[in-house]
Chains A and B, each alone.
Chain A
Amino acid sequence: MPFIPHTPDDVAEMLAVIGAQRIEDLFDEIPSALKSKALSRVPAALSEMEVGRLMSERAARDGRPLNFMGAGAYEHHIPAPVWAIATRGEFYSAYTPYQAEASQGTLQVIYEYQSMMCALTGMEVSNASLYDGASALAEACLTAVRANRASNSRRVLVPRTVNPTYLQVVQTIAGNQNIRFESVDYDRQSGRTLVDALRRYDGEDLTALVVQQPNFFGVLEEVDELVDWARANNVLLIGVVNPIALGVLKAPGQWGSRVDGKQGADIVCGEGQPLGVPLSSGGPYFGFMTTRMQYVRQMPGRIVGRTLDAVGNPGFTLTLQAREQHIRRAKANSNICTNQGLTVTAATIYMTLLGADGLARVAEASAARTQELVTALTKIPGVRATFSGQRFHEAVLTLDRPVAPLLAALAERGIFGGVDLGQRFPELGNALLVCATETKTDADIAQYARALAELQSVPRAARGAA
C-alpha cells in the first residue's frame, strides 16, 4: 500500500485499543445506503517507476518548441538555486505559518518578499500574495471600492489595453458585488490609452482607473498624464505592472506629479510569474499587491509583520488577521485563505540572486531581444509593426494573411510564433503578439525569421481561401 506504513500487527493492536473488530466498523455511523461501490474510472495503482515512464512519454509527446509567446506568461532563465531550495522539504511541506514559532523560516521569507515588492513598486506596504495577476486585479478593484471614500458609484474604468482575460476574471469575481466596469478604447496608431479618451469622464463620480504598464500590446503607456488625470478627478489609480519591466521602468509609486504630498498609483498589482516561476502550463503563479499604508486595512490576503518575542528577540508573525476570513467571516475583506506560498518563496530567492542590477540586465536584454526580433521579422514582406508606441518586450505585428494557419505551420517547424489577437481585437485584422526575452539567442531569432520568410514567400493566392 503506497505511503501507508501499517503492518497487520499494527492494525490488530490499534483495533484492540479502539474496541472494534474490523476497520470497516469505524464507518458504522455512515448510513449503509450511502456507502459507494468500487471506483470504476480510477485505474489500478502504478509503481513510481511506471508513473515516471508514463509522464516521460506524455512529456515527450508535447516536446519543447522554441517559444516566442508572452501575453501574460513569460519565459525567463530561472537560476538553479531557486527551485533547489524552494523544493527543500522544510519549505515544500510546511503549512501556513499559523504557529509562528515553528515557522520563522517561511515568515521571514515572506517579510523579505514584502520588503522587496515595496521597493520594486515604490509603495509602502505589500501583502503575502494572491493567486495570480488576474485575480489580484479583481481584489485590487474590490479594495479600491472599499478604500475610495470620495466615491459612491462603484464604477471602474478599464482600458482595452489591459489584458482582456484579466477583465474577464475581474468580472467573474467582482461582478456579483454591484461594480460596473467601463471600457476605454485605445489609439489605433500608437497602441496606447490617450488621456483625451478620459476627458469625457471629467467631473463624474468614478471609483478607480486601471492602467497596465507595459500594456497588453507591449506598448508603454504615458502613465504620468493618466495618473494626474485620476488624481484631479478623485479616482483611485490601480497600476497593473510587469515586475521584470520595473527593472528599467519607473516605479508606480513615482508615476505622475506630486500633488498635496501625494504621488503615484494608489494600488499596484500584477503577475509575479516572471520572477523565477516556470511557465508550467499557466500555474501555479502568484499575484502581488502593494499599496499606501493608509489602505493597509483594506487590503486582502495575509500580511507578515516583525515583532519581538517574550524575551525581546525579533521574530515574525502573521498580523492584521482580524481582516481575514477565519476571524471576520462574512465581513472579511476577501475569502482568500491559502495563497501561493511556494511560488513566493521561489520569487524571493530569485530577486535576491538577481539583485537590482541583475533585474535591470534581464529587463534590458529582453527588450533588446524583442527589438531584434521585430527588426528581423518586419524585413519579411507582408509583415509590419502595428503600433508606433514605444514597446518593452512584446510587440504586435500585422500580417498580410490569416495568423492561425501561419502559427500552425510554424508549430510544425518547432516554433511557437506568438499569440493570435484576432478574436479579442478583431479591429486589428491579422494581428500577432510576439515576445522575445533574454532566453532567445541570435540563432533562435534567425531560425524564426527563416521559417516565417519561407511561409510568407508562398503567394497569398496560392494558399486558397484566406
Chain B
Amino acid sequence: MQPHPSQEPLIFELSRPGRGAYAQFPPPPAVSPAIPAHLRRMDAPLWPAVSELQAVRHFTRLSQLNFSIDTHFYPLGSCTMKYNPKACNTYAMLPELIGRHPLAPESHSQGYLACMYELQDMLKDITGMQGVSLTPMAGAQGEFAGVAMIRSYHRARGDLARTEVIVPEAAHGTNPATATMCGCSVKEIPCDANGDVEIDALRAAVGPNTAGIMLTNPSTLGVFERKIGEVARIVHDAGGLLYYDGANLNAILGKVRPGDMGFDVIHMNLHKTFSTPHGGGGPGSGAVGVGERLLPFLPIPIVGRDGDRYRWLSERDLPQSIGRLSGFMGNAGVNLRAYIYMRMLGREGMVRVAEFATLNANYLMKRLLAAGFDAAYPSRRASHEFIITLKRQHRDYQVSAMDVAKRLLDYGFHAPTTYFPLLVPECLLIEPTETEAKEDLDRFCEAMIAILREMIHEPEKLTSAPLTMPVRRLDDVRAAKQLDLAWNPAASA
C-alpha cells in the first residue's frame, strides 16, 4: 500500500453543476407522473454531481486507504479475519441468485432453497443442535433471538419469574446489551485467575429467577472453559438454560460440538467462522441453533422439506416462534456465501480449520513469550487466540497497548484487538486464523520484537504512532466534542 501524502477530497468537493454519470440515467418517461405539488420535493438533495470516471477514481482511491485481509495480516482477536474466498462472491452473485426477489414463489426457488436447507443441516451437524434458523442478520441479532427464545420457553411453562441472565465479567458487550433489550436484568459473575468461570460465584448467582447463562467457549480470555460440564449442570439444575456465544467457534470447529457441551441454544457468526466478508463493518449473519427444548420458538422463516420439495416454514408451522427478525429472511446473500465456503471445505476441511487456527495461535504465543512479552494465561494452551498484556511495559516505559497497536500499523500489520476483554489491563487479543502462513507469523513477531526495542530506546515512536499512515493519530476527543457528522456546505463556504 502506498502512503498517500495528500488527502482524498470529499466527493462533494469534486462536484460541479451540470456534471453527471449520464450513461446511468434511464430514458425520461413519455408522461411525467402526476404528483400533487404539496407532496413534491421542493429542492433537489445536495448530492454530488460528478462524472462516472470521477466517481470511480474517488472510491477506488478511498479503497486504497484501507487495510484489509486481501492486503494485510489482520490478527484481530475475536473477529476471525481469515481469507474470504473469491469463489463465494462469484457464485453468490450468479444472475439468477442475485436477482431473485425474496417473495418469489417456492415453485421457482427450489435451487436457492436447496442451498439454504443444506446449510441449515450442515450447521446442525457442526453444532450438535436439532434446529437452525438463518434469519438473524448479525451476531447481536442471533444473541437477541437466543435470549428471546429462552424467555419464551420459560413463559410457555408458566414460569414468569425467570428474568435474570447471568453473564461472565469477561463477556462481549453485546451479551449484557442483548439481555437488556429482551427485558431481562443482568447478573455478572467473575472468573478465576486461570480464566475459568468462578464456580462458587455461579452457584451463588443461580436461583428461581435465573432465565439462563450466556457463555462463550473458548472464552473471551482465549482459553477453553474446562469446567463447562459442571457449569451446565449447575445452571440446568437451577432451572435455567445455557446460551452459547459462537464468536469463537473457529477454535473448536469439528472438534467439539456446543450441543454436546450442554448448550441449549447457540448463535454463530457466519462472517467470522464461515468466512463471509467483513465488508468494513458487515453485513454479517448470526444463524441460531437450538436443542429439542427450544425448537418451537425458532425465529421464522426456516426452510423445510416435504419429500423432495423445499418450502418455507412460517407462522402456521411454528405458532410459538419468537417471530420475525427481518423484513424477509435475513442476510440471504451472506448465508449463500457461507454455504459455498462450507461446500469447498467439506467435512475434512472443517476439522482442519480448528487444528491449524490453534496451531498458529500457539506458535505465535510461544514466539512472543520467548521474545519477552507476557501472556495473560501463560500456563494455558492458547485456543485460536490468546492475550498478551503490556501491563509491565506500561509501568516501566509509559507506553500503552494503544501505542503498540498504532506502531504496528507503521510496520504494515493491522493491530490485534485492544482493550478487550476489559478484565486484562493493557491487553492485545491476537487471533492469527488458519489461513496465515508461518512466514507471515514470523514477520509479525519480528515487528513486535522491533517495537519492544523501540519501547526502551525510542518510546516517542510509539506514543506518536502511526507515523506513516495516510493520517496521524486522530483526535477522538475533538470528534466527540465538536460533532461534525455530515458535510455541511454552509460551513465550508
Apart from A36-B256, A338-B281: 11 A-B pairs, beta carbons within 8 A:
A15-B359, A23-B356, A43-B343, A62-B104, A69-B103, A101-B469, A102-B72, A115-B12, A250-B40, A283-B283, A309-B471
Which of A203-211, A346-354, A454-462 touches B? Answer: A346-354
Q: Which residues of B contact A232 (CB under 8 A)?
A: none
Chain A neighbourhood of B76, CB < 8 A: 95
Contacts of B351 in A (CB 8 A): 39
Asked, given contacts A41-B125, A371-B33, whether A254 binds B476 with beta carbons under 8 Å apart, the answer is: no
Min CB distance A367 to B, Å, is 4
Closest Cβ of chain B to A7, distance in Å, is 9
B residues 272-323 near A (Cβ < 8 Å) are 277-284, 299, 322-323
CB of A283 within 8 A of CB of B68, answer no
Asked if A341 meets B283 with Cβ closer than 8 Å, knowing A60-B96, A166-B327, A306-B484, the reply is yes
B332: which A residues are within 8 A, CB to CB?
Answer: 280-284
Inter-chain contacts of B48 with A (CB < 8 A): 352, 355
Within 8 Å of chain B (Cβ to Cβ): is A239? no
A106 near B137 with CB under 8 A, answer no
The reply to whether B254 and A92 form a contact with Cβ atoms under 8 Å apart is: no
**Contact pick for A1, options B122, B186, B352, CB 8 Å:** B352
One of B197-205, B235-243, B360-368, B450-458 contacting the partner? B360-368
Find residues 358-394 in chain B having any chain A CB closer than 8 Å to their own CB.
358-360, 362-363, 366-367, 380-381
Shortest Cβ distance from A88 into chain B, in angstroms? 5
> In the complex, what's the smallest C-beta–C-beta distance from A265 to chain B, in angstroms?
14
**Contact A305:B485 (CB < 8 A) given known A94-B279, A105-B62:** yes
A73 at the interface (CB under 8 A from B): yes
Q: Would you call B265 an interface residue if the criterion is a C-beta within 8 Å of the partner chain's C-beta atoms? A: no
- Measured in the bound complex, the distance between the Cα atoms of B83 and A56 in whole Å is 23
Q: Closest approach, in angstroms, between the C-beta of A111 and any C-beta of chain B?
A: 7
The 4 closest A-B pairs by CB, nearest first: A45-B346, A89-B70, A282-B328, A342-B279
A28→B382 CA distance, assembly (Å):
11
Identify the interface centre among A100, A224, A293: most chain B CB within 10 Å of its CB: A100
With contacts A4-B434, A169-B325, A349-B59 taken as known, whether A119 is within 8 angstroms of B47 at the C-beta atoms is: yes
B32 CB-CB contact with A under 8 Å: yes
Which of B261, B350, B479 is close to A317, meaning CB atoms less than 8 Å apart?
B479
Interface centre among A73, A93, A271 (most CB of B within 10 A): A93
Chain B residues lying within 8 Å of A5, measured Cβ to Cβ, are 435-438
Is B330 in contact with A282, judged by CB distance below 8 angstroms?
yes
**A314 interface residue, CB < 8 Å from B?**
yes
Q: Is the CB of A131 within 8 A of B137?
A: yes
| Nearest B residue (CB) for A15 | B359
The stretch among A149-157, A194-202, A296-304, A376-384 that forms the contact with chain B is: A296-304
B81 to chain A, nearest CB (A): 6
Is the pair B485, A6 in contact by a Cβ cutoff of 8 Å?
Answer: no
Complex: chain A residue closest to B229, CB-CB: A31
Q: Given the known A-B contacts A101-B466, A281-B97, are A89 and B69 also in contact in the complex, defined by CB atoms under 8 Å?
A: yes
Which residues of the other chain, B, contact A62 by a CB distance below 8 angstroms?
A: 96-97, 100, 104, 108-112
Bound-state Cα–Cα, A4 to B405, Å: 27
Chain A positions 87 through 118: 1 when the CB is less than 8 Å from some CB of chain B, otherwise 0? 11111111111011111111011111011101
Give Cα A458 to B105, complex, Å.
Answer: 23
Please report the C-alpha to C-alpha distance between residue A46 and residue B103 in the assembled complex, in whole angstroms: 30
List 10 A-B residue pairs with CB atoms under 8 Å apart, sorted by A's residue number. Answer: A33-B229, A43-B347, A45-B344, A62-B108, A62-B110, A165-B324, A281-B336, A282-B326, A282-B327, A310-B472
Is the beta-carbon distance between B174 and A337 smaller than 8 angstroms? yes
| A204 and B96 alpha carbons, distance in the complex (Å) | 51
Q: For the complex, is A128 an interface residue (Cβ under 8 Å from B)?
A: yes
Which size class do A's interface residues fall under?
35 or more
Q: Is there an interface contact between A339 and B100, defined as CB atoms closer than 8 Å?
A: no
Identify the stretch in A76-84, A180-188, A444-452 within 8 Å (CB) of chain B at 4 or more residues.
Answer: A76-84
Determine whether the beta carbon of B94 is less than 8 Å from that of A59. Answer: yes
Max chain A C-beta neighbours (<10 A), residue from B172, B359, B380? B359
Contacts A93-B70, A281-B102, A364-B32 given; does A178 touch B183 at CB 8 Å: yes
**CB-defined contacts of A268 to chain B, threshold 8 Å:** none
- Point out the residue from A93, A251, A355 that lies within 8 Å of B20, measured CB to CB: A355
- List, in ascending order, chain B residues with CB within 8 A of A64's CB: 95-96, 99
* Contact call A283/B256, Cβ cutoff below 8 A: no
Interface presence of A247 (CB below 8 A): yes
B101 shortest CB reach to chain A, Å: 5
Contact yes or no, B485 A354, CB < 8 A: no
User: In the complex, which residue of chain A has the Cβ closest to the Cβ of B60?
Assistant: A85
Interface centre among B94, B137, B299, B336 (most CB of A within 10 A): B137
When chains A and B are docked, how far (Å) is the Cα of A267 from the Cα of B98?
31
Tell me, in angstroms, the Cα distance from A3 to B341 when the chains sit together: 10
B415 within 8 A of A: yes
Q: Are the C-beta atoms of A283 and B331 separated by less than 8 Å? A: yes
Which of A73, A94, A176, A319 has the most chain B CB atoms closer than 10 A to its own CB?
Answer: A94
**B380 and chain A: residue at smallest CB distance:** A29
- Tell me, yes or no, whether B395 is within 8 Å of chain A by CB: no
A259 near B: Cβ within 8 Å? Answer: no
Most buried by A among B103, B107, B406, B486: B486
Interface flag for B425 (CB, 8 Å): no
A11 to B363, CA, bound (A): 10
A168 at interface, CB cutoff 8 A:
yes
Knowing A51-B340, A92-B70, A345-B280, say if A246 contacts B108 (CB, 8 Å). no
Q: Does B7 have its Cβ within 8 Å of any Cβ on chain A?
A: yes
Shortest CB-to-CB span from A49 to chain B, Å, is 9
> What's the least CB distance linking B213 to chain A, in Å?
15
Residues in B whose Cβ lies below 8 Å from that of A296: 483, 485
Flag if B279 contacts A249 (CB, 8 Å). Answer: no
Please tell me if A215 contacts chain B, counting CB pairs below 8 Å: no
Across the interface, which residues of B come within 8 angstroms of A83, CB to CB? 93
Which chain B residue lies CB-closest to A174?
Answer: B181
Q: Please tell me if A463 contacts chain B, counting CB pairs below 8 Å.
A: no
A105/B39 contact (C-beta < 8 A), A69-B103, A99-B414 known: no
Are the C-beta atoms of A51 and B101 separated by less than 8 Å? no
Alpha-carbon distance A326/B418, docked complex (angstroms) = 12
